[in-house]
């Protein structure tokens, strides 16, 4: 979790030496070797009431979402998409970072993991979430975190935010829409977007 504590924007680098990118179709995600594009940048938000959970928003303003749609019929692994939640209580956009040495695993509220797939097409460069059962693919769950933008101190911005003295953070309401929602069977919790870090 320490990788994200003061991060405003990050890049996620997979075991295959590729970056998690948000496709221009504003729906799908994939792996790409081009880490310099805006599509490889993800903005970090924290979940209210559980600072161990994060949400990741793409440059298109949509959230990295663990859907319940199968990636391939008859195969293990569900699609990971960009979506705008249908409500403020939407657990599929929440990820639990688990530190593994210099890497992290991103676990969903349903206990599955963000996975950078390898092998031959159609698996190559794809991103799914699931529970791996093969020892050879355990590293596909590991991500390196590159912090590309940190939280800034800006007292003038606090007029637009709600201060939280218990966490030491200044929180702003995230902007949600009812469009492009993905159905899920997971639970829900309320999300706020961390915009600025307060002086201690």
Show me where the domains of the chain are located: 7-197
pLDDT at 63: 98
How many other CB atoms are there within 10 angstroms of residue 26's CB atom? 16
d(CA 134, CA 119): 14
Cβ(200)–Cβ(156) below 8 Å = no
**Residues of the chain where predicted confidence (pLDDT) is lower than 70:** 1, 73-75, 153-200
So what's the architecture of 7-197 in CATH? Trefoil (2.80)
How many other CB atoms are there within 10 angstroms of residue 161's CB atom? 19
d(CA 50, CA 60): 25
pLDDT at 135: 76
pTM for this entry: 0.74
């Amino acid at each position: 979790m320490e990788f994200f504590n003061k991060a405003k924007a990050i890049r996620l680098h997979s075991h295959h030496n590729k970056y998690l990118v948000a496709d221009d179709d504003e729906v799908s995600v994939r792996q790409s070797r081009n880490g310099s594009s805006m599509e490889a940048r993800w903005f970090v938000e924290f979940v209210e009431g559980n600072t161990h959970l994060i949400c990741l928003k793409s440059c298109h303003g949509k959230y990295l979402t663990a859907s319940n749609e199968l990636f391939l019929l008859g195969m293990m692994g569900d699609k990971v998409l960009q979506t705008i939640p249908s409500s403020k209580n939407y657990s599929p956009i929440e990820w639990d970072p688990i530190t593994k040495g210099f890497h992290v695993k991103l676990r969903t509220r349903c206990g599955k993991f963000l996975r950078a797939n390898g092998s031959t097409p159609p698996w190559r460069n794809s991103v799914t979430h699931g529970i791996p059962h093969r020892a050879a693919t355990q590293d596909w769950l590991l991500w390196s975190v590159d912090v590309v933008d940190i939280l800034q101190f800006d007292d003038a911005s606090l007029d637009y935010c709600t201060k939280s003295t218990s966490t030491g953070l200044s929180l702003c309401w995230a902007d949600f829409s009812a469009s492009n929602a993905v159905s899920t069977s997971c639970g829900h919790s309320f999300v706020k977007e961390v915009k600025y870090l307060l002086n201690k």
